[in-house]
Structure 1
Amino acid sequence: METPDFKIFTTVAQLPDSWDHVAHENAFLQTPYLKVLEESAPTNMQCFYIGIFEKEILIGVALSQYLNLNQLESFGERDRCLKTYIRNFVFKNFASHVLFLGNNMITGQNGYAFLKDIDPKHICDLLTACADEIILYFKKQHIKIHIVSFKDFYQKCADEMKRFDFAQMYEFNTQPNMIFELPADWKTNEDYTAAFSKKYRDQYKRAHKKFEGITTRELPLEEIISREERIYELYYHVAKNAPFNTFFLAKNHFSVFKKQCKDRFVLCGYFLNDTLVGFHTLLLNGNVLETYFLGYDEHIQKQKMLYLNMLYQMTQYGIEHRFEKIIFGRTALEIKSSIGAEPIEMSGFIYHTNKWIDKLMSKIFPKLEPDLVWQQRHPFK
């Protein structure tokens, strides 16, 4: 096989006509979603779209994102402790310019797609060459990239990558991806709840009772636009209280997403006395249901067990629309396991462009990660 070559694009309009054909199995690499990033990416993010060619024919596509953490007002406000202050100081001063090969906004192996099987060594060579090219792009603008991260590989793929160039990088495992594989014989929500053990059926009933008075419905584009301020307010409350952030969404992100992806993007609103008190979002990605960002009123969340009910609602949607699995992503691991999702470990690879700091990465990186203590739940009989 002739060694593939690549070309880096900075706008979606530049992409080859066959781009979506190559990316047909992953909505997060297709042009409607890339247009969402182009029109409403976080203000501290710049995206690069990578075309991979063989004999001038497009055979692969990939995504890269640059983040300037100096433009971020907060890394997350939930954990106020010495370790958090140290972590924030280090990020601001030694890791503020970060290049991701992959998508830092979502969880899962969504960084690249190929039309044909590509040897892992070629993939490693291509990704590292793309990183070098983008580093040079920023160097010409007098911006020094501090950290390069190749993110979210499932374990089998990570093991293959470690046989080649990635073996020289620090491999990290952050919080697992919570994935719910839906049994093929579940066709209704009653099938789902019947599978619970008594303890978790009682939890479902208790949450359902607390939920009384809340109405839910899918919002069309016009309503997402008219409620944009409130939607963002609910999102921002949840985002800023996360243990760690590298970006905040643009205010128009959800309306742009609906405009570009249409019926494949679902924003479900939660109402109490006609007041929007929460929302969740979904992306229909082939036979996979991808959960996206959500938001809620903290006071209503406590009264109505809103977050747990959102998880149940998303699960019901997945079952009734015959998806094979639901990607619930990272964070809130214990409560997600209580509704049936299971942890799937994912690896990333990272290096610092300063060779002296890079040698210490195995000692520095674990100290920067928020502590993770949780107990996996097993809700089914």
Structure 2
Amino acid sequence: MKPNLSFQIYYSTQNLPTNWDSLTPKNIFLSKDYLSILEKSAPTNMVCYFIGIFKENELVGISLAQKINLSKVNSLGERDHCFKTMIKNFLFKKFISNVLVIGNNMLTGQNCFCFSDQINLEDGITALHEATHALTDQLKSQKKKIHLTVYKDFLTTNTQLFKTSKFKSYYHFNTQPNMVFNIKESWNSIDDYIGDLNKKYRDQYKRARKKAIGIDKRKLSLDEIKKSHYRINELYLNVAQNAPFNTFYLSENHFEVFKKKLHDNFLFYGYFIDEKLIGFNTLIKNGEDIDTYFLGYDESCQREKMLYLNMLYDMIGYSINKKYKRIIFARTALEIKSSVGAIPVEMIGLIKHKNYFINLLMAKSFAYFEPKTEWKERNPFK
């Protein structure tokens, strides 16, 4: 690390420098407001830490780190109960259950750091690497073990930043891509979007909308979110527990805390049939982007009403109307997101095990726990 750069690790957002937000004008996910929400409503198996990087006592970089204890969740989901899954869970808890993530494990995309123009990316990454080492040592002194260190979600254009001796022992990986929907300047409404679809996908849109007849969709206030607290959590878990891989489950007050702190920057939409909540989705306003957040639904209604696909179309319609430039659809459900026009953006990460010999086998073991997803990319436009 350059001698004029230093770092500070913070254990609470209350202790962050007063000018922290001066580095986050384009990314709400590193702002004090968001980080304080994360601190208050993080999953029970997650603890957050905050890193400030300084150049001659001036704040020039910020980052987020998260310690995750995978032994507190069924990481491989609830769908499979076979012997192979039991073995995987055992190995998880024994050898890789304690993970330090540099970045945000609850989001997809480059939300790891923000640097000012006072330093270049290479120096910032070097300082972040030193801070990571220091944090690991601090946690070790507190008898909090770390099996794995992960630097999460960087664009492939950033690969060169990590081709240094400091990261030589890290395994470079990429999992499912970030699905990003780019909004054309010529679109002023959902009708413009539909007009650019080819016949097959126009028919898909019409079929989905016909299936949704009878569903009442509306934006929920903080009070309404509180009133539907238990049902919301039930619908969220219906989806989360059937995912092939989990590193956390949201706390029960998660959405309430978000709405209370972010106000209209956090949107919660409920879907009702005869006043019964059958599904919901959430959006976060982030500069010129809309980030899709967590959702939930009743599985029987999802199939009958094509609920998930209708949610995607609703997100697209809202974002076009409000003149956003992109929708960050994140990972999972790659093919259906592709069918509405999202494109895959490859992301890279780095991972290292504290045990030298296990680390030598990282490439094979990573493929074992995170098998490649097979899917077919679609192009719905003319």
Same fold (TM over 0.5): yes
Distance in 2 between residues matched to 1:330 and 1:142, nearest whole Å: 34
Q: Aligned residue for 1:115? A: 116
Amino acid at match of 1:366: A
Number of paired residues? Answer: 381
The equivalent residue for 2:358 is 357
In 1, the alpha carbon distance for the partners of 2:172 and 2:304 equals 41
Q: Is the 8 A contact 1:124 1:165 kept in 2?
A: no
Within 5 Å, which residues of 2 pair with 1:247-262?
Answer: 247-262=248-263
1:151 and 1:347 in contact (8 A); partners too? yes
Relative to structure 1, is the Cα distance of residues 167 and 317 closer, same or farther in structure 2, using a 3 angstrom cutoff?
farther
For the residues of structure 2 that align with 1:371 and 1:77, how far apart are their CA atoms? 19
Deviation string, structure 1 residues 171-218 (Cα, Å, up to 9, x no partner) = 000000000111111010000011110000000000000000001111
Give me the whole-angstrom Cα distance separating, in 1, the residues matched to 2:253 and 2:298: 19
Residue number in structure 1 paired with 2:309: 308
Check conservation: 1:124, 1:166, Cα contact below 8 A.
no
Counterpart of 1:287?
Answer: 288
> Aligned AA for 1:58?
L
C-alpha distance in 2, partners of 1:231/1:139? 38
Summarize the alignment of residues 290-369 of structure 1 with structure 2, pairs less than 5 Å apart.
290-369=291-370
The one-character-per-residue Cα deviations of 1:288-330 (angstroms, maximum 9, x if unpaired) are 1000000000011011000000011011111111010000000
Q: Provide structure 2 residue ranges, at least 5 long, that are not aligned to the other structure.
A: none
> In the alignment, residue 26 of structure 2 is paired with which amino acid?
E
Cα distance in 1 for partners of 2:124, 2:359 equals: 22
Q: Match of 2:187, SS? A: coil
- SS of the aligned residue for 1:301 comes to helix
Corresponding residue of 1:52: 53
Aligned residue number for residue 272 of structure 1: 273
Aligned with 2:278: secondary structure? strand
- Distance in 1 (CA, whole Å) between partners of 2:121 and 2:79 is 39
Deviation string 1:81-139 (CA, Å, 9 cap, x unpaired) is 55533332221110011000000000000011012163343233222212211211221
2-structure distance, mates of 1:94, 1:375: 34
Runs of 4+ in structure 1 over 6 Å off: none
SS where residue 135 of structure 2 aligns?
helix
The verdict on how the C-alpha distance between 1:315 and 1:271 changes in structure 2, with shifts beyond 3 A counting, is same
Structure 1 counterpart of 2:357, which letter?
W
Paired letter, 1:322: K
Alignment gaps of 5+ in structure 1: none
After TM superposition, give the deviation of residue 166 of structure 1 in Å.
Answer: 2.5
* Counterpart secondary structure, 2:201: helix
Match of residue 230 from structure 1: 231
Return the offset for 1:79. 4.3
Question: Is contact 2:53-2:59 (8 Å) kept?
Answer: yes
* Separation in structure 1 between the aligned mates of residue 131 and residue 65 of structure 2, nearest angstrom: 9
Residue 3 of structure 1 pairs with residue 32 of structure 2: no
Identity among equivalent positions (%) equals 49
Structure 1 pair 66–310 and aligned structure 2 pair: CA distance change class (3 A): same
In structure 1, how many angstroms separate the alpha carbons of the residues matched to 2:115 and 2:380?
37
TM-score norm. by structure 1 comes to 0.97
- What's the offset of the Cα at 1:264? 0.4
- Look up the SS of the partner of 1:168 in the other structure: coil
CA contact (8 A) 1:181 1:325 kept: yes
Q: CA, structure 1 residues 180+79, in 2 after alignment: closer, same or farther (shift >3 Å)?
A: farther
